[in-house]
Amino acid sequence: MHAHRRALPATLAVLALISACGGGGGGTASPGGSGAPAGQPDSGPATKGGELTLALAEDPDVLDPSLGRTLVGREVFINMCEKLYDIDESLTIVPQLAAALPEISADGKSVTVKLRTGITFNDGTPFDATAVKTSLDRHVAIEGSARKSELAAVTGVEVVDPTTVKLTLKAPFAPLTGQLADRAGMVMSPAQLTKLGDDFGSSPVCVGPFSFVSRQAGNSITLKKSTEYYDADKVNLDGITYKVITDANVRLANVRSGDVQVSERISATDVDKVESDASVKLVTGEPLGYQGISINIGNTAGVGEPVGEVTTPLGTNKELRKAFELALDRKVINQVVFAGKYVPGCFPLPPGNAFLDASLTCLERDVDEAKKIIAASGVASPVPVELTIGTSPENLRIGQIIQSLAKEAGFDVKVKSTEFASALDASDAGKYDAFRSGGPAASTRTATSTTSCPPVAPATSPGCPTRRSTPRWPPRAAPPTWPSARRPSPRR
């Protein structure tokens, strides 16, 4: 086992997305294109043409399916890099580039995937079994792969014929189809891989309704409608521009002005005023995502390397980790930072989820018990903790309230505010004590409290998938899938 970290139980969040329904402010044309007056909701039928501008809360990391780690990266991938499988509105796994659900041998160690025909990548390269094998092999072999652990059960990929691949497993692995419904199932153009090699992320080419145009680091990513896409006639938009706007207040201002049509997250403290604004639409829900604090308990040489011995108090002492959890109050964090808009919890699955063990209960805050544990540990109080968090105002507020709550129990929390991609790099390298992060429940991250949202995605229909022309709201995420070898680094 490469269990590199211990994570505090999660607090579930309410998904908060907003969409500018009118044309207001002279921004990019609305995706529906029905010409509603500025400031008025546009509820007419979708028409051809127009571009969507969408605000992202962070700058995605590398746009390479083998290496990508971020939620916001997923939101871009979903519109330009299709997968072998997808998730429909009822959270059922359905074929996407695959022609059918996989055929599994009696012993569970052989998985055969039939592929769709007549499909090309966005550079015109034919999609076939050799392309699938090339991508799956690369997902495992490339240095720094974020997919290696997800495909750890796979020992080989065989091209049976141009429309069939067979995966051989070291042991039965039930989550495999779920993994192939995420980035591990994304198939890259072999021609572009040959051309760019490890630099594929600078100009990615996959199968998708939109193709990559350009990227300005820290600012924007631009996609255009693909002329090669198999369902191009069902794609209404001419293009999508993702704008990176890390401040929630600025994202909201851009939506209200019409400079962007959709923001993928807003601050909980802005919900009331957004709900009273007729020019925008607020979409809320209870997603499969969650956020939390991951604690490094053994990552000393980097993700994928053997477990080592950390030297931090939280990393070396499980009782101190319990005391740290007892020092925090999810309800207080929810109320102070998020205006009570979220649903506190302590597991990576929302209430009512079929995979949640309802018999499990959450620890309530108990400062006296936390102090007793610290005293019995032999570690001098205050116990030092370095908490890595993002740079947004919301992250800073979370850091401050955690710092204050933990201090009462005998912890000295130093908040290390770090740019998001840099924080991910540091977590992969094992250069962190505690990391406040989060993401879809398909990954193992955990938490105190906040919001997270699944990928923005055109919808997929059961059976042979088709796509809507504009992103659906609220989007859906995959059911939980757990890597067999280790828990991945915390991700948002």
* Domains by residue range for the chain, with CATH: 5-14+287-439 (3.10.105.10)
Write down the pLDDT at residue 253.
Answer: 92
Question: Which range is least confidently modeled, 150-164, 284-298, 431-445?
Answer: 431-445
Question: Which range is least confidently modeled, 260-269, 287-296, 443-452?
Answer: 443-452
CB 418 within 8 A of CB 395: no
CB 258 within 8 A of CB 27: yes
CB 230 within 8 A of CB 119: yes
DSSP class of residue 269 equals G
Write down the pLDDT at residue 111.
Answer: 98
Question: Which range is least confidently modeled, 223-237, 275-289, 401-415?
Answer: 275-289
Q: How far is CA 12 from the centre of its chain?
A: 15
Give the separation between CA 424 and CA 69, rounded to whole angstroms: 8
Tokens of 314: 């939280």
Write down the pLDDT at residue 466.
Answer: 26
Write down the pLDDT at residue 350.
Answer: 74
Give the separation between CA 295 and CA 13, rounded to whole angstroms: 20
pLDDT tens digit string along 262-279?
Answer: 998 888 888 888 888 888
Tell me the H-state helices in 276-365. 313-316, 318-327, 330-338
CB 151 within 8 A of CB 140: yes
CA distances in angstroms from 396 to 247, 249, 402, listed in the order given: 12, 14, 10
Write down the pLDDT at residue 448.
Answer: 19
The chain-wide mean pLDDT, for the chain, equals 81
Of 282, 227, 216, 252, the C-alpha closest to 394 is 252
Question: What is the separation, in whole angstroms, between the first and last Cα of the chain?
Answer: 23
Over pLDDT 90: what percentage of the chain?
61
- Residue that the structure tokens 């108990």 belong to: 366
CA distances in angstroms from 334 to 193, 343, 401, listed in the order given: 45, 8, 10
CB atoms within 10 A of CB 36: 17
Question: Which range is least confidently modeled, 121-130, 242-251, 278-287?
Answer: 278-287
- Residue that the structure tokens 């850091």 belong to: 399
Give the separation between CA 120 and CA 133, rounded to whole angstroms: 16
Write down the pLDDT at residue 463.
Answer: 25
Write down the pLDDT at residue 44.
Answer: 61
User: What is the pLDDT averaged over residues 405-424?
Assistant: 94
Contacts by 423-429, CB closer than 8 A, 24 or more apart: 423/388, 423/389, 423/390, 424/61, 424/69, 424/70, 424/489, 424/491, 426/388, 427/294, 427/296, 427/299, 427/388, 427/489, 427/490, 428/69, 428/144, 428/302, 428/303, 428/489, 429/302, 429/303
Max mean pLDDT range (22-36, 365-379, 390-404, 421-435): 365-379
Give the separation between CA 170 and CA 344, rounded to whole angstroms: 39
Is residue 94 pLDDT above 80, yes or no?
yes
Mind giving me the DSSP string for 295-313?
EESS-SS-TTSPP----SH
DSSP class of residue 287 equals -
Give the separation between CA 348 and CA 288, rounded to whole angstroms: 8
Please report how many Cα atoms fall inside a 13 Å half-sphere around the Cα of residue 447, on the Cβ side. Answer: 37
Is residue 353 pLDDT above 50, yes or no?
yes
User: What is the pLDDT averaged over residues 36-41?
Assistant: 43
The set of residues, in sequence order, having a beta carbon less than 8 Å from that of 289 and lying 6+ positions away, is 13, 15, 71, 438, 439, 440, 441, 451, 452, 453, 454, 477
Strand order in the sheet with 164-169: 103-104, 110-114, 164-169, 154-161
Vertex 154: Cα angle to 151 and 158 (nearest 5):
120
pLDDT tens digit string along 44-75?
Answer: 676 789 999 999 999 999 999 999 999 899 99
> 3-state class of 318 per DSSP?
helix
pLDDT bracket for residue 42 (50, 70, 90): low
Residue 384: enclosing H or E segment and its boundaries? Answer: strand 383-389
pLDDT bracket for residue 286 (50, 70, 90): low
Write down the pLDDT at residue 439.
Answer: 59
Phi-psi label, residue 91: left if phi above 0, alpha if psi -120 to 50, beta otherwise: left
What's the count of helices (H) and strands (E) in the chain, helices before strands?
A: 12, 19
User: What is the pLDDT averaged over residues 433-458?
Assistant: 43
Q: What are phi and psi of 11, to 5 degrees?
A: -115, 125
- Residue that the structure tokens 């429940």 belong to: 441
Write down the pLDDT at residue 10.
Answer: 35
Max mean pLDDT range (26-40, 80-94, 153-167, 286-300): 153-167
pLDDT tens digit string along 213-223?
Answer: 999 999 999 99
Is residue 140 pLDDT above 70, yes or no?
yes
User: What is the pLDDT averaged over residues 142-164?
Assistant: 96
Tokens of 224: 């255009």
User: What is the pLDDT averaged over residues 102-125?
Assistant: 98
DSSP class of residue 433 equals S
CB atoms within 10 A of CB 474: 17
Is residue 166 pLDDT above 90, yes or no?
yes
pLDDT tens digit string along 195-252?
Answer: 999 999 999 999 999 999 999 999 999 999 999 999 999 999 999 999 999 888 999 9
Give the separation between CA 489 and CA 319, rounded to whole angstroms: 22
Give the separation between CA 251 and CA 260, rounded to whole angstroms: 8
Give the separation between CA 75 and CA 440, rounded to whole angstroms: 12
User: What is the pLDDT averaged over residues 414-425?
Assistant: 90
Vertex 25: Cα angle to 20 and 29 (nearest 5):
60
Write down the pLDDT at residue 23.
Answer: 35
